[in-house]
Amino acid sequence: MPAIIVFDLEFTTWPGAPERDWSAPGELREIVQIGALRLDADFAVTDEFETLVRPVVNPRLSPYFSELTGIDQETVDREGRAPAEALGDFLGFCAGHTVLSYGNDMVVLGENVGWARARGERVAHGFLGNGFLNVRPWLNTLAPQTASVNSGRLWQALGLSRPAAGAEHSALFDCHSIAAALRHLRAGGATLPAGWF
């Protein structure tokens, strides 16, 4: 049965890295957390995916990252999975469905798949097809008040109830925020782009 996957990533970062587009030496956008929701045609959640990933090039999280996301070094060391394993499982969760992110997280996903392969690791389901789409331009056009907020604040910008436990910059919470925004726009009569289902 066709579904939409909404996903969000948390990846290594440092003070000023977003403004520099992670261009300083050693600044790679290594995925540390993946969150995803499978949504039915009414945007109701039918399944979820969440995992921590151990970064390889920068295995020590920056204090900036930990403060931003609430993810600490001890938890990643204890619960984080090898990148190829985590990425393969996530891509398997997405297989056959339209996959949406609020921003270009699919670029970061592709970078991480490429780095795993360059290390000689096999990533199951490792092909990112055309089904990966950035929902942000569509959403911002229909709801201009969302243009300046991140995925975890969409629900606030739209005046909605908190969509789940947690806070912004937690990948799964951010997915719930995106899903709440999609449900809100759909309920208001928004027409979905062709090919989503």
In a domain, 72, yes or no: yes
Query: Which positions of the chain have pLDDT values less than 70?
Result: 1, 130
In a domain, 136, yes or no: yes
φ, ψ of residue 113 in degrees (nearest 5): -65, -45
Query: What's the half-sphere exposure (Cβ side, CA atoms, 13 Å) at 115?
Result: 17
Q: What is the pLDDT of residue 1?
A: 63
Q: What is the pLDDT of residue 127?
A: 75
User: Residue 155 sits in which domain range?
Assistant: 4-187
In a domain, 117, yes or no: yes
φ, ψ of residue 34 in degrees (nearest 5): -120, 130
In a domain, 67, yes or no: yes
In a domain, 195, yes or no: no
For all residues of the chain together, what is the average pLDDT? Answer: 94
pLDDT, tens digit, 9 for 90 and up, residues 23-51: 999 999 999 999 999 999 889 999 999 99
pLDDT, tens digit, 9 for 90 and up, residues 137-151: 999 999 999 999 999
Assign residue 81 the CATH number of its domain: 3.30.420.10
In a domain, 134, yes or no: yes
